[in-house]
């Protein structure tokens, strides 16, 4: 029976890896490399759902129009979403490596928006990595995914509720243009995840590592030599991660579909993650920090990627 279960799991890994490779291949578009960021800010005090709702109502007054996917987007492409502790997450549009002015303008726009929110609503947002004491703070988002996640983290004895409501990070994205870029990009981001400029602070790492072990650790990829083998390892890791609602590994769910798997893949908390939007790889380890410090790391990130990719061209 054990052998049969292993064989069934291996067959599922192979099937989903092939389907993921096909879907990813269809999404790839050639052209210049583009980059992006997601920049989170923590409220300096605990928030309640009504305050997030008030801010959502206010964002159109500040130039952000609600989109069909629930985000708020400005004319320059800067977009806003909320996180479960009331954190503000700003997302950039795609940016070229040389677009220093574009990055600076987006950072100015973020600063102006945060200041307006503070002046109008008395809610101050800080580029800070962690506030303690928010384990029992209200859950500010009521979507089922967040409720299931919060319930699991309330029961498993870890620090997931702190992760959800008391931490803030910066994610850096690079678009994948070719299957040949999958392995070198992933390896670079994996390396940067432990670099002092991009690694998590000790406190965020302690929280992250005690959130939910099946979805927070990177799979071992030392022997991966090609893109299909790398994707297979990512799929294997995701299939082993438990489903928030049913609390069993995704591979054991009855009636699962590949579409369900792709949604499940968006909930993996690894330091480097494949994001089918773009598609991109995202580096998720950097702490939230003031804009000047972020800008230095942004420049280095772009430089490291450009060197890695164009030396191979």
The pLDDT, as a whole number, for residue 3 is: 57
Q: What is the mean pLDDT of residues 90-117?
A: 97
Residue 129 has pLDDT above 50, yes or no: yes
**158-170 confidence digits (pLDDT tens):** 999 999 999 999 9
**31-88 confidence digits (pLDDT tens):** 999 999 999 999 999 999 999 999 999 999 999 999 998 899 999 999 999 999 999 9
Three-class DSSP labels, 188-222: HHHHHCCCCCCCCCHHHHHHHHCCCHHHHCCCCCC
Q: What is the mean pLDDT of residues 139-156?
A: 94
Residue 245 has pLDDT above 70, yes or no: yes
* 151 Cβ contact list (under 8 Å, min separation 6): 244
Q: What number does CATH give the domain 32-215+276-310?
A: 3.30.590.20
> What are the CA-CA distances from residue 58 to residues 72, 108, 163, 242 (Å)?
11, 19, 27, 37
The pLDDT, as a whole number, for residue 220 is: 61
**198-231 confidence digits (pLDDT tens):** 999 999 999 998 998 887 766 666 667 799 999 9
Looking only at the bridges linking them, the beta strands covering 65-66 and 72-73 are: antiparallel
Q: Residue 313 in contact with residue 304, Cβ under 8 Å?
A: no
């Amino acid at each position: 029976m054990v052998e049969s279960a292993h064989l069934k799991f291996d067959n599922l890994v192979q099937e989903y890896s092939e389907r993921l490779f096909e879907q990813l291949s269809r999404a790839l578009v050639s052209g210049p490399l583009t980059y992006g960021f997601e920049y989170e800010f923590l409220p300096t005090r605990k928030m309640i759902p009504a305050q997030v709702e008030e801010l959502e109502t206010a964002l159109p007054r500040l130039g952000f129009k609600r989109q069909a996917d629930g985000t708020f987007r400005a004319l320059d492409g800067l977009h806003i979403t909320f996180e479960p502790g009331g954190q503000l997450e700003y997302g950039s549009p795609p940016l070229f490596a040389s677009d220093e002015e574009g990055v600076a303008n987006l950072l100015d726009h973020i600063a102006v928006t945060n200041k307006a929110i503070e002046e109008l609503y008395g809610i101050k947002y800080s580029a800070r990595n962690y506030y303690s004491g928010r384990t029992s703070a209200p859950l500010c988002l009521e979507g089922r995914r967040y409720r299931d996640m919060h319930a699991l983290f309330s029961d498993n004895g870890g620090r997931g509720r702190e992760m959800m409501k008391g931490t803030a990070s910066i994610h850096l994205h690079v678009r994948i243009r070719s299957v040949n870029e999958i392995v070198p990009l992933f390896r670079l981001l994996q390396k940067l995840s432990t670099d002092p400029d991009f690694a998590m602070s000790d406190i965020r790492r302690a929280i992250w590592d005690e959130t939910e072990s099946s979805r927070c650790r990177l799979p071992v990829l030392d022997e991966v030599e090609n893109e299909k083998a790398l994707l297979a390892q990512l799929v294997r890791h995701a299939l082993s991660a438990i489903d928030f609602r049913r609390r069993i590994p995704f591979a054991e769910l009855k009636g699962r579909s590949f579409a369900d798997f792709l949604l499940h893949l968006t909930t993996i908390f690894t330091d480097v993650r494949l994001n089918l939007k773009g598609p991109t790889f995202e580096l998720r380890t950097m702490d939230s920090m003031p804009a000047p410090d972020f800008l230095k790391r942004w420049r280095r990130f772009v430089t490291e990627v450009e060197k890695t990719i164009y030396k191979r061209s």
